[in-house]
C-alpha cells in the first residue's frame, strides 16, 4: 500500500456518549442508526485514489451537477461485522471487494483496489468497534462509490468518492423465524441480458421499487422477478437470491448469467449445502415448475438468502391469478440447518473450515 492511499485518521471531536449510544442501539431496526465515523477516499483521473480519511460522519457537499445525481453512476456493497467470543470479525470481505470491482467495471468506474477496500472497512470497524452490537445484532457496513464530477455531458466521470458508513442492526427476524411471502411480478423485470443485473448498483434498486410496492399492495413481503426475455424463469428477489430444496436431495438455484446478482450468501450456502450431501443444480427453474412442484410435493422448501436477512424461508407465493404455498410453510429442516451452519461460522460458534472469517479487532 502506497502512502497515497493510506487512510488518515481524524477522530471525532465529540463522539456519542456511551449512554446515548446504548439507547440508540437498543432497538436499532435496519439502517436507521449510524455510527460516529465514516471513511472517504477520492479518485481523480490524474491522481488516482488519494486523500483517504477516517473522520466524523458528516454530509457530503457535492455540486448540483455531480454526475451521480443525473446519470446514476453509483455502486455499493453490503456486509456485516460480528461480535464473537474471539473478537470482532468480518465475513468474506475479500468477496465484497471483488464484487465492488466488478460492479465498477460494469458502470465504467475505477476499481477500488482490494487492499484499499479492506483497509477502509477495517479502519471504520476499529474506530466504531463500540457500535458493533452483541447478541444476534451486527454492524452493517455500507461501502459505496459515486461519480462526483460536475459535468452534464454523458460519459464516465473523471472524479469519484469511495466511502464507507456503518449502521448497527438488530436481527432481521425479531421474535423468531417466520416465512416470508412473495409476489411474482408480471409487469416488471429487474434486469435484462446485457444490462446491469450482476452489478450492485443503485439504479437496479430504483427500478425495483415500483415492483416492491406492488408486492406490498398484494400483502407480500418481497417481490420475485422473472427473466426479462421470456417472463418465465425465476431470477431472484429484489435484494436476495433464491434456492429450492427438492425431494430428491437436490438444491436448485438460478444460474449466474449476468442478470442475477452473485450473492456471497448464495455462494456460501451452496458450499454448505454441498457439504451436507445436497446435489447443487444451478439451472433455470420456471415459475410454472415452481407451482407444479409445490403442488405435487416435489418441492420441499424454498428460501431466499442475502446478507441482511441471511436465510429466509418462503411460505406463500402470490401471483396475478392466484397463490400457492410450500408444504413446509416457512422454515423447513434444510433451510433451518443451512442457516444455523452459516450463522454459526459468522458468529464464531462453529468451525471456520473455509477461512471465511477475518478477524478485525
Ligand X SMILES: *Cc1c(COP(=O)(O)O)cnc(C)c1O
Which residues would be at the binding site for ligand X (CB under 6 A)?
A: 78, 200, 236, 239-241, 261, 263-266, 306-307
> Which residues fall within 8 angstroms of residue 157, CB to CB, at 6 or more apart?
67, 68, 73, 109, 147, 148, 149, 151
Those residues whose C-beta lies under 8 Å from the C-beta of residue 129, and which sit 6 or more positions away, are 88, 361
* Nearer of residues 7 and 243 to ligand X, judged by Cβ: 243
**Shortest CB 266 distance to ligand X, Å:** 6
Min dist CB 200 to ligand X, Å, is 5
Nearer to ligand X, 236 or 301 (CB): 236
Got the DSSP string for 286-340? BHHHHHHHHHHT-EEEEEEEETTTEEEEEEEEEETTEEEE-SS-S--HHHHHHHH
Angstrom distance (rounded) from CA 110 to CA 184: 36
Residue recorded with cell 465492488: 100
Of 134, 135, 157, residue with least CA distance to 147:
157
53: Cα within 13 Å, side-chain hemisphere: 12
DSSP-based three-state secondary structure for 2: coil
CA 220/CA 255 separation, integer angstroms: 25
Least separation in angstroms between CB 68 and ligand X: 18
Q: Which is nearer to ligand X, 7 or 261 (CB)?
A: 261
Q: Give whichever of 119 and 236 is closer to ligand X, judged by the CB atom.
A: 236
Q: Given its phi and psi angles, is residue 29 left (phi above 0), alpha (psi -120 to 50 degrees) or beta?
A: left
Cα separation, 344 vs 93, whole angstroms? 17
Query: Least distance to ligand X from the beta carbon of 356, Å?
Result: 12
Question: Minimum CB separation from ligand X for residue 206, in Å?
Answer: 12
Which residue number, 16 or 196, has a Cβ lying nearer to ligand X? 196
DSSP-derived pairing of the beta strands 241-246 and 299-306 = antiparallel
Nearest to 228 by CA among 256, 187, 262, 282: 187
The count of other CB atoms within 10 Å of the CB of residue 24 is 16
Pick between residue 111 and residue 240 the one whose CB is nearest to ligand X. Answer: 240
- Closer of 30 and 324 to ligand X (Cβ): 30
Could you tell me the smallest distance in angstroms from the CB atom of residue 215 to ligand X?
A: 14
Q: How far is the CB of 354 from ligand X (least distance, A)?
A: 15
Count, residues in the chain? 361
The residue among 37 and 200 lying less far from ligand X, judged by its C-beta, is 200
Biggest CA-to-CA distance, the chain: 63
CB of 163 to ligand X, least distance (A): 18
Which C-beta is closer to ligand X: that of 83 or that of 142?
Answer: 142
Minimum distance from residue 280 beta carbon to ligand X (Å): 16
Find residue 79's DSSP bridge partners: 141
Amino acid at each position: 500500500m502506497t502512502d497515497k492511499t493510506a487512510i488518515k485518521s481524524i477522530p471525532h471531536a465529540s463522539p456519542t456518549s456511551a449512554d446515548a449510544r446504548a439507547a440508540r442501539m437498543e432497538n436499532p431496526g435496519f439502517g436507521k442508526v449510524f455510527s460516529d465515523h465514516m471513511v472517504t477516499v477520492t479518485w481523480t483521473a490524474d491522481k488516482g485514489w488519494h486523500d483517504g480519511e477516517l473522520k466524523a460522519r458528516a454530509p457530503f457537499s457535492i455540486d448540483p451537477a455531480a454526475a451521480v445525481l443525473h446519470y446514476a453512476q453509483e455502486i455499493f456493497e453490503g456486509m456485516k461485522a460480528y461480535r464473537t467470543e474471539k473478537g470482532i470479525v468480518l465475513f468474506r470481505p475479500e468477496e465484497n471487494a471483488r464484487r465492488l470491482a466488478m460492479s465498477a467495471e460494469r458502470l465504467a468506474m475505477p476499481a477500488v483496489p482490494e487492499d484499499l477496500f479492506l483497509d477502509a472497512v477495517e479502519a471504520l470497524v476499529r474506530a466504531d468497534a463500540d457500535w458493533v452490537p452483541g447478541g444476534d445484532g451486527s454492524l452493517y457496513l455500507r461501502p459505496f462509490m459515486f461519480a462526483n464530477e460536475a459535468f452534464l455531458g454523458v460519459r464516465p466521470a473523471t472524479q469519484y468518492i469511495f466511502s464507507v458508513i456503518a449502521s448497527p442492526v438488530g436481527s432481521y427476524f425479531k421474535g423468531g423465524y417466520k416465512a416470508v411471502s412473495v409476489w411474482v411480478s408480471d409487469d416488471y423485470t429487474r434486469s435484462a441480458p446485457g444490462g446491469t443485473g450482476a452489478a450492485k448498483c443503485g439504479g437496479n434498486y430504483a427500478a425495483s421499487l415500483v415492483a416492491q410496492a406492488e408486492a406490498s399492495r398484494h400483502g407480500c413481503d418481497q417481490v420475485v422477478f422473472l427473466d426479462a426475455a421470456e417472463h418465465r424463469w425465476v431470477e431472484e428477489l429484489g435484494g436476495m437470491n433464491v434456492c429450492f430444496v427438492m425431494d430428491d436431495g437436490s438444491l436448485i438455484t438460478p444460474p449466474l448469467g449476468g442478470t442475477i446478482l452473485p450473492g456471497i450468501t448464495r455462494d456460501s450456502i451452496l458450499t454448505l449445502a454441498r457439504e451436507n450431501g445436497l446435489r447443487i443444480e444451478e439451472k433455470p427453474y420456471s415459475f410454472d415448475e415452481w407451482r407444479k412442484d409445490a403442488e405435487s410435493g416435489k418441492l420441499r422448501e424454498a428460501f431466499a438468502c442475502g446478507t441482511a436477512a441471511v436465510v429466509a424461508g418462503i411460505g406463500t407465493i402470490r401471483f396475478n391469478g392466484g397463490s400457492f404455498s410450500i408444504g413446509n410453510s416457512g422454515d423447513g429442516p434444510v433451510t433451518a440447518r443451512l442457516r444455523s451452519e452459516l450463522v454459526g461460522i459468522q458468529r464464531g460458534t462453529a468451525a471456520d473450515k473455509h477461512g471465511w472469517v477475518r478477524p478485525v479487532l
